[in-house]
Structure 1
């Protein structure tokens, strides 16, 4: 669908009168990363979309900062006339979910997975700086060795996780990572850092005062879990949950548990 003249690939599942979920995937991912959780929440109206610059959505030269994307997804909720919406965000999608809540009164609660309050509690893959290099970066991202891209995707899961169970399409992770356009890669990373430096997600959630559930896998390889949780737990409206033997992508690694947590949180949160 077109939102403010920008094409977004949007998928809706479940009954039209079911409780609304807005699902925002992480960096270099797609709507497919929520397949397993959506299948376990058939009573919900699950709205998921490919983030700007990803998958089947538009790939403009700019507009990847959190505020611009927050306004865009807030407009999507308005055009779909969705109310009492629960945001379900993963990784960077959590950040955009918070930005959307700052621009929309239609959101009443948030579920955030695998995202620290700011980049001070996170780590990037070795050599990530190469992707930001002019000329070289786009070539490496789009046409670099598949094994190197798969290794980065693999970091989104706990050591020992069976990647054969992650997606219906075994090449999904590689395809999603390569579908990301280069402006989205460089701008999202840099502007995200600047946005959270002004005020971290913990501070923004404190200002929003919306019930929020933060989920981390104990074996997350992108964030220091304890440091992230310490800051989130200082905010009165945030509840935290840690899943043992799970990495950065709980909705794929532990879909039954995540579906149960979402269902319980929406009904009582």
Structure 2
């Protein structure tokens, strides 16, 4: 088990794949840990995958109050600590906002980015406040079923494995989850993302109840020459529901931009 000590506490990370593989850093969504990418990485054994648990998620410490930019700085610190930059950076949902922020703030560390099921602004201050209030009143468990409906297409929700994803959300630190909600409420990356000039691929799920495909495409349209892809029969976590289809997009992008 590997940990990077940050000013706010311990950040858990993991490295998989061959030493000589192209280095790809993955940032997770709200309410998930680095296991989010397990099924995808099984499809991509050739890459050197670096995953981490953001503050208040997985095995990382809670880390107090933070912004999306703070999370991007954590990712930058990890890349610098490992001495692997510039990397290809893949982020999903709030992880996609981390990908946007680190690409804008530290272009020396990122050679290309993949933005999955994300946007320059996600939700509204009111919608995030309402979610925080619901968690304060009844815990994350009280909203877990709604989250599953937003995350996954009906066919996936009918599988026994849905229980594990529900448990992952429910067992997330309440302080970490609420902190991430506050970070999302405050985040608007329209300016820095519209200035990105590195290679970018943008991915959406056609059944995403959290970040609909049209919202994701609007972010792609802000970035010159960004490629936009829709994964069919997938909700908010296409790397989970359709890992082969996700890998079919990511693999050629990595091959093209890894050198």
Aligned to 1:184: 176
Aligned residue in 1 for 2:132:
132
Structure 2 gap segments, 5+ residues each: none
Structure 1: which 4+ aligned runs deviate by more than 4 Å? 120-124, 128-131
Q: 1:116: Cα distance to partner? A: 2.2
Deviates more, 1:217-226 or 1:76-85: 217-226
Distance 1:102 1:235, change over 3 A: closer
CA RMSD of aligned residues (A): 2.5
Runs (5+) with no aligned partner, structure 1: none
- 1:2-151 matches, cutoff 5 A: 2-5=4-7, 6-62=9-65, 64-104=66-106, 105-119=108-122, 129=129, 131-133=131-133, 137-138=135-136, 140-141=138-139, 144=141, 148-151=143-146
Scaled by the length of structure 2, what TM-score is found?
0.87
- The alignment partner of 1:43 has SS state of coil
Please point out which of 189, 208, 215 is paired with 1:220.
Answer: 208
- Asked if 2 retains the 8 angstrom alpha-carbon contact of 1:22 and 1:87, the reply is yes
- 3-state SS, counterpart of residue 159 of structure 2: helix
> Shift of the alpha carbon at 1:233?
2.2
What is the count of residue pairs matched by the alignment? 253
SS at match of 1:27: coil
Task: Please report how far the alpha carbon of residue 121 of structure 1 lies from its aligned counterpart in structure 2 after TM superposition.
Answer: 9.0
- In 2, the alpha carbon distance for the partners of 1:227 and 1:73 equals 25
- Rounded to whole Å, the distance in 2 between the matches of 1:87 and 1:68 is 16
CA–CA distance in 2 between the matches of 1:77 and 1:8? 13
